[in-house]
Amino acid sequence: MSEFKLESKRPLIISGPCSAETREQTLDTCTRLAATGVVDVLRAGVWKPRTRPGSFEGVGLKGLAWMAEAKRITGLPIAVEVASAKHVESALEFGVDLLWIGARTTVSPFSVQDIADAVRGSDANILIKNPMNPDVELWSGAVDRFLKVGVAPSRLGLIHRGFSYFGHNELRNPPMWHIVLGMRSRYPEMTMICDPSHICGNRDLLQNIAQTAADLRYDGLIIESHICPDKAWSDAAQQVTPDNLERLVRNINWRHDSTDDPDFVKALNNYRNEIDQLDSELFDLLSRRMKIADRIGAVKRDNNVAILQGSRWSSIVDRVLGQAAQLNLDEEFLKTILETIHIESINRQNKVMNE
Ligand code: PEP
Ligand code: MN
């Protein structure tokens, strides 16, 4: 029976190698991490679901024995990834305190159900990583499978590890923070941990993502650390030494949830009033703009002219983007807003022309 409680500490810091590779590497990394004093739980992958066959797929059961040894030596609870009922059984036998479901497993309802059935009746703590794709339904489905077999909500948590992205991005798995905010409003009390390592894919951006997670009031972090990162058998580019892990964690500013300071409250209220006022002007303008689109639809209809007038649209885009610098607004942001407005404008004209 695990004594460990997910909500025992905020922020909860989980660290350890991507993979347990050898006994020496596992124990060296874990004892050094424990000595930093900033790590609450040790992690390692012993079964590695890899995108392509032939990559290092984990050492299996012997890795569990090394992690159990790390737990004995350091006194810290341990976490491993499980992807099947058999993994759950072995992990619990070796005294693993925290099981996590990897992103490639969360996408599969059959696998998630198998794992949920295997933990039924145990007191395991489980963290569910977001699925590879930004699908809140799939992620909640996994959570609900565990709730349904009777896992207490206090023993369940979520890990945000970013989403697979088609195309080039400086991050390996862009975080899409807003998707996770949606998940958090479904399960407001549930522990939410950020995994900067798999979001970034390289060490340079870890600090920045970790700070964003702290600013968004995440409950903790899971960050990969390896005694010799460049020699790691998996995810080498994103792992950091235990010393650097300590520096990174100590550099994070975990801000207050709130403060009663009257000056702060007054300033915030003033700004919020201003935002509310501007929002109402903004949407009033949008409403007026759409009414004009309706009239344009009517004249096009009466003259039997097509809705889309290509050169007109590109001249709008050019004019607005030309003002980006002066407005101090990001060009991509302006483009997104313009496109959204354009789609709605076309829908409105379409309606007028065909009614
Ligand atoms: C991991 O934590 O090492 C891992 C494989 O992560 P993910 O499932 O997020 O890819
Ligand atoms: Mn990894």
| Same domain as 201, residue 83 | yes
Q: 211 and 87, same structural domain?
A: yes
Say what the pLDDT of residue 138 is.
97
Residue owning the nearest CA to atom 2 of ligand 1: 18
Last residue within a domain, chosen from 202, 225, 250: 250
Look up residue 157 and give its two tokens. 């948590």
Residues linked to residue 157 through DSSP beta bridges, in sequence order: 127, 191
Of all ligands present, the nearest one to the C-alpha of 103 is 1
Nearest residue to 40 (alpha-carbon basis) of 50, 48, 30, 49? 30
- Are 156 and 236 within one domain? yes
**For ligand 1, which residues put their CB under 6 angstroms from it?**
18, 45, 102-104, 129, 161, 198
Q: Final residue of a domain: which of 250, 284, 311?
A: 250
**Tens place of pLDDT per residue across the chain (355 aa):** 678 999 999 999 999 999 999 999 999 999 999 999 999 999 999 999 888 888 899 999 999 999 999 999 999 999 999 999 999 999 999 999 999 999 999 999 999 999 999 999 898 999 999 999 999 999 999 999 999 999 999 999 999 999 998 888 899 999 999 999 999 999 999 999 999 999 999 999 999 999 999 999 999 999 999 999 999 999 999 999 999 999 999 999 999 878 899 999 999 999 999 999 999 999 999 999 999 999 999 999 999 998 877 788 899 999 999 999 999 999 999 999 999 999 999 999 999 999 8
CA–CA separation, 230 vs 207, rounded Å? 19
Quote the ligand 1 centre to 8 CA distance (angstroms): 24
Q: The pTM is what?
A: 0.85
**Taking ligand 2, which is a single-atom ion, which protein residues have CB atoms under 5 Å away?**
18, 235
Q: Which of 219, 250, 281 is the last residue of a domain?
A: 250
Closest by CA position to 29, among listed 240, 213, 197, 258: 240
> Helix or strand or coil: residue 224?
strand
Domain shared by 127 and 98, yes or no: yes
Give which of 339, 351, 348 is closest to 293, Cα–Cα: 348
Indicate the helix (H) or strand (E) that contains 99: strand 98-101
Q: Write down the pLDDT at residue 1.
A: 61
Best residue for ligand 1 mutational test, from 57, 195, 200, 239 (most atoms within 8 Å of Cβ): 195
In angstroms, the CA 247 to CA 290 distance is 53
Shared domain check, 179 and 94 = yes
Q: Name beta bridge partners: 80.
A: 44, 99
Look-up: residue for tokens 């300033």? Answer: 267
Query: Would you say residue 256 lies in a domain?
Result: no
Interatomic CA distance for residues 210 and 200, integer angstroms? 10
CA distances from 125 to 2, 65, 105, 225 (A): 8, 19, 17, 22
The Å distance, Cα 49 to ligand 1 centre, comes to 8
Q: Within this chain, do residues 241 and 267 fall inside the same structural domain, yes or no?
A: no
Q: Which domain holds residue 186?
A: 6-250
Indicate the length of the chain as a whole number: 355
Which listed ligand is nearest to 79 at the C-alpha? 1
Q: Are residues 235 and 285 in the same domain?
A: no
Q: For residue 165, what are the β-bridge partners?
A: none
Q: Are residues 143 and 23 in the same domain?
A: yes
Q: How many CB atoms lie within 10 A of CB 89?
A: 13
Residue 319 belongs to domain with CATH number: 1.20.59.10
Please spell the DSSP secondary structure of 279-315, one letter per residue.
HHHHHHHHHHHHHHHHHHHHHHHHTT--S--HHHHHH
Same domain, 341 and 246: no
Please check whether residues 42 and 168 belong to one and the same domain: yes
Q: Determine, yes or no, domain membership for 1.
A: no
Residue 295 lies in a domain: yes
Ligand 1 nearest atom to the CA of residue 103, by list position: 8
Is 257 inside a domain boundary?
no
* Residue with CA nearest ligand 1 atom 1: 18
- Which residue type occupies 67? M
* CATH number of the CATH domain containing 242: 3.20.20.70
φ and ψ of 44, to 5 deg? -165, 145
> From the CA of 44, which ligand is nearest?
1
Q: Are residues 15 and 151 in the same domain?
A: yes
Number of separate domains in the chain: 2
